[in-house]
Chains A and B, each alone.
Chain A
Amino acid sequence: MAQMPEAMRPLRILIAKPGLDGHDRGAKVIARALRDAGMEVIYTGLRQTPEMIAAAALQEDVDAVGLSILSGAHNTLLPRVVELLRQNGMGDVPVFVGGIIPDEDVPGLKAAGIAAVFGPGTPLSEIVEFIREHTPLRHPIADRNSRLMSDYG
């Protein structure tokens, strides 16, 4: 009957597809893999603007954001997502990506704040492991909402 310890709460992960291409197989494979690893995956579907992705991440209070992109527009769209998350006070939320991204673009994306890039053929277990390692479970209320508590509590 014990309460779920904070460290055991399921991770909440947003999986989104920025850009205009309709390649959603990879995003769905990742969503299922993360679900099977015990995570709660919010899947928002195709053709998301960076603004939509940031808004969803904010309201869903996710622990990490995963983006799938095969359209070639990664160099413009992905840094924009990172930037908007920062504006929303979610700069500490890791953004990891997959899809068709040429090797030479990876350093630039990392410099822009993307935590990791996973191309075709990456073992799913590696992706799951990465997320677990890079999402220190934040205490949802104690830190940030202490202001709210002292204002109203």
Chain B
Amino acid sequence: MTGDTRPLHFTKRDLARLITGIENDDPHALRALREWYGRTGSAHIVGVTGAPGSGKSTLVAALTRMARSRGQTVAIVSVDPSSPFTGGAILGDRIRMRELFEDDGVFIRSMANRSALGGIARSTADVVAALDAAGYDLIFIETVGAGQAEVEVARVAETVIVVEAPGLGDDVQAIKAGILEVADILVVNKADREGAERAVSVLQAALDLAAPSVGTAGHHGYGALHRVEAPTASSTGWRIPVLKTIATEGDGVAAVLDAIARHRQYLEQGAGAQRRAQRLEQEVTIRLRDLLLKRAMQQIEPTRYHALIEACIARKLHPQEAAQELLNELARDDGRAPAG
């Protein structure tokens, strides 16, 4: 890593190809990313999550238009699900972003989640880092929106917007999914529809009930190695706003962009450092877990591995015992010959 923190001047073509490399674990791309890590950290990264059809893409497009009129450059990473059967995907979020395609200050990238859980792809964080290094002021991440708790985006984004809409079936989906815990800003979109007012009051009541911990106690969950304490609401003073929008008309969108900016200010006044430390600790922990697993799988004898699985199938061995046995054998091997 070099000490240079200036943004890189990529052409869009080069940036697009770098992202393809990142998505596919291309060693050149990953090396470039490590070199450039020092140049990241100036973009404001905003996650947008919520049920399918709530209007995430439309809202992101409207927020982007507004941010552009305020002079900011914007990158959008939109994640859609891969088919678990074929690995293919239809990435359709651009349909709602058509008026942004030719804007030089906007970069839109559609991503398949490649069957990762949690609403984003495994490589989304690194793709966002590349866009950050390229100097975009504001980066939106639109999650899959599977309707489950898509808390993974809080690991990458500094500000998380949860989008609700009336008439999606359940009263208020977010509460059911427990996704409220990651929200910094709540948006009730489709305010032109019946039930919007009710959705706002249900969300407001849920927030009041959950105070003081909601909205600040989130952003954790990787347990074991996790030392950095989440700040509590009383120590941070961020009140989660509940905002109404009609994304298709642009109504209320300025207020959401204002709230995003206020949240950034709030993070810069101190809370952000703590959250960043927390996020990076998670990031390192997760990558360590992946590396350890990868190393273990390389060292374990496939025949031994399958023998233990067979024993589990025959119910002679509990899966926990099998895993423990593999770990013990790895530790013995490590004792004999240090891993190369």
Contact = CB atoms under 8 A, between A and B. Distances in A.
Contact of A35 (B26, B88, B294): B88
Contact of A142 (B28, B35, B89, B102): B28
A140 B23 CA distance: 10
Interface stretch (A44-52, A71-79, A101-109): A44-52
Given A4-B25, A9-B24, A10-B112, A38 B17 contact: no
Given A6-B24, A52-B98, A37 B88 contact: yes
Contacts of A61: 13, 16-17, 19-20
A152 B32 contact: yes
B170 interface: no
A58 B31 CA distance: 23
A145 B24 CA distance: 15
Interface string B89-105: 11110110010011000
Contacts of A44: 94-95, 98, 101
Contact of B91 (A4, A37, A41, A145): A41
A81 interface: no
Interface in A1-20: 1, 3-4, 6, 9-10, 12
A1 B10 CA distance: 33
B90 A32 contact: yes
Contact of A43 (B10, B18, B23, B92): B92
A5 to B, nearest CB: 9
Given A45-B98, A141-B21, A59 B107 contact: yes
B83 interface: yes
Nearest to A39: B88
B303 interface: no
Interface in B57-94: 82-83, 86-92, 94
B268 interface: no
Contacts of A31: 90
B26 A140 contact: yes
B90 A43 contact: yes
A76 B152 CA distance: 46
Q: Which of A10, A32, A37, A148 has the most CB of B within 10 A?
A: A148
Contacts of A60: 16, 108-110
A65 to B, nearest CB: 14
A12 B80 CA distance: 13
A153 B101 contact: no
A146 B213 CA distance: 49
A4 B153 CA distance: 24
A51 B103 CA distance: 11
B8 A152 contact: yes
B28 A41 contact: no
Contacts of B226: none
A42 B14 contact: no
A133 interface: no
B269 interface: no
B273 interface: no
Contact of B101 (A3, A34, A56): A56
Interface string A103-121: 0000000000000000000
A4 B110 CA distance: 20
Nearest to B297: A1
B16 A42 contact: no
B20 A12 contact: yes
B298 interface: yes
B140 interface: no
A147 to B, nearest CB: 8
Given A1-B297, A89-B13, A140 B21 contact: yes
12 contacts: A1-B294, A1-B297, A4-B25, A10-B88, A12-B20, A36-B88, A48-B98, A140-B29, A141-B18, A141-B26, A142-B28, A153-B32
Interface of B: 8, 10, 12-14, 16-21, 23-26, 28-29, 31-32, 35-36, 82-83, 86-92, 94-95, 98, 101-102, 107-110, 112, 293-294, 297-298
Interface of A: 1, 3-4, 6, 9-10, 12, 31-32, 34-45, 47-48, 51-52, 55-56, 58-61, 88-90, 139-142, 144-146, 148-149, 152-153
Given A148-B10, A149-B28, 15 more contacts: A4-B24, A35-B89, A37-B86, A43-B92, A45-B95, A47-B98, A51-B102, A52-B101, A59-B12, A141-B18, A144-B14, A146-B28, A148-B14, A148-B18, A152-B36
